[in-house]
Amino acid sequence: MYLLVFFALPSLMMLFASFRYPGDYGGLAPWYFLEDGKVTIELTLENWQRLFESSIYLSLLLKSVGFALLTTAICALMAYPLALTIARSPKKHRDLLLLLVILPFWSNFLVRIYAWMIIFSPQGGLTQVINQLGALLGLEPLNLMFSSTAVITCLVYVHLPFMVLPLYANLEKHDRALLDAAQDLGASRAQRFWLITWPLSLPGLYAGAVLVFIPSLGIFAIPDLLGGTNGIMIGNVIKQQFVEARDWPFGSVLSLVLTAITLLLVLMAGRLGRTPGVLK
């Protein structure tokens, strides 16, 4: 009897496994053949050829990877001092400080992009101030809206908590006794940081990097709204293939490439021994 009830569960699991498997991973493959109808497989290859023939897509892919890497690096640079401060502050303050990091992250994604649209708009305060300063130095007025700078700033803004949280989780566990021992043995502040805190924090940093890199690679809304023509990323092209051009097979090719990159990264991160952290 007991077994029966819990036998029902795995079969239920299988049921929505069958529902989600095609949805999330394999959905592309069967559709692929249907889309190309009765045509031979050679036609299928053409979509792949298109990817490699024209350098536009490959360079765009490279550019997106570059954007995502830059975002990850800036996030790390900003998150590190923050996570360190939180981890070293008194216990009763930690939860509040962490909550303050997460709170903006819970406001709607579009609202957060929209906020930057206001800030970067040509009439906005930031642009005005920069241009007035630039005018003093004899520089051309610059427009921040629809630029790569705008896209990357917003990418950093949206993904910062993903870097802070794993870093904090890691830094918080560090044993203070190690630092004290190093100090007793005559290590300077910088030495203590580079020889103890930094190497110990690397797993947290890797986890955060994956959590920032993966979503920023596939993003389309931010470049769509802030990037103009200069700032488009691979996500925009995927969206464009599906929504505007309706070229689903080619969109699928691009999505598959993105999936492959993502899976590769997750596997690499898993290799670094932090799979559970990554999946969270």
Partner 1 sequence: MSTGNTGIKGNKWLLAATLLVYLFLYIPLLVVMLFSFNDSRLNAEWVGFTLKWYTQLLDNADMLRAALNSLIIASVSALLSGTLGTLAGVAMHRFRQKWLSALVLGPVAMPDILIGVSLLLMFMLFNVTLGATSIILAHVSFSIGFVALAVQSRMSGMDDSLLEAARDLGASPWQSFRLITLPLLLPGIIAGMMMAFTLSIDDFVVTFFTAGVGSNTLPLEIYSMVKIAVTPEVNAVSTLLMLLTLVLITALSRFSPQSLRS
Which residues in the 37-76 window bind partner 1 by CB under 8 A?
A: 76
In the list 61, 67, 151, 192, the residue contacting partner 1 (rule: CB under 8 A) is: 192
Identify the H or E element spanning 226: none
Q: Measured from the CB of residue 58, what is the shortest distance to partner 1 in angstroms? A: 19
The most distant pair of C-alpha atoms in the chain lies apart, rounded to whole Å, by 83
137 binds partner 1 (CB under 8 A): no
**Across 34-140, where does the E strand assignment appear?**
none
For position 19 contacting partner 1 by CB under 8 A, the verdict is yes
Among residues 9 and 137, whose Cβ is nearest to partner 1?
9
Q: Give the interface segment with partner 1, choosing from 24-32, 39-47, 59-67, 131-139 (CB under 8 A).
A: 24-32
- CB under 8 A, 24+ apart: contacts of 218-225: 218/258, 218/262, 219/155, 219/158, 221/109, 221/110, 221/113, 222/113, 222/151, 222/154, 222/155, 222/158, 223/151, 225/113, 225/114, 225/117
Of the residues 41, 111, 137, 177, which one makes contact with partner 1 according to CB under 8 A: 111
Phi, psi dihedral angles at 219 (to 5 degrees): -70, 145
Which residues from 154-183 bind partner 1, rule CB under 8 A? 157, 160, 165, 169
27 binds partner 1 (CB under 8 A): yes
Q: Is 5 in the site for partner 1 (CB under 8 A)?
A: yes
From the list 1-9, 38-46, 52-60, 129-137, the region that binds partner 1 by CB under 8 A is 1-9
Residue ranges in 219-258 that form contacts with partner 1 under rule CB under 8 A: 219-221, 225, 235, 238-239, 242-243, 248, 251-252, 255, 258
Q: Where are the alpha helices (DSSP H) in the chain?
A: 2-21, 28-35, 41-53, 55-88, 91-102, 109-120, 125-136, 148-173, 176-184, 189-192, 198-218, 221-222, 234-239, 248-271, 275-279
Q: How far is the CB of 157 from partner 1 (least distance, A)?
A: 7
In the complex, the smallest distance separating the C-beta of residue 268 from partner 1, rounded to whole angstroms, is: 13
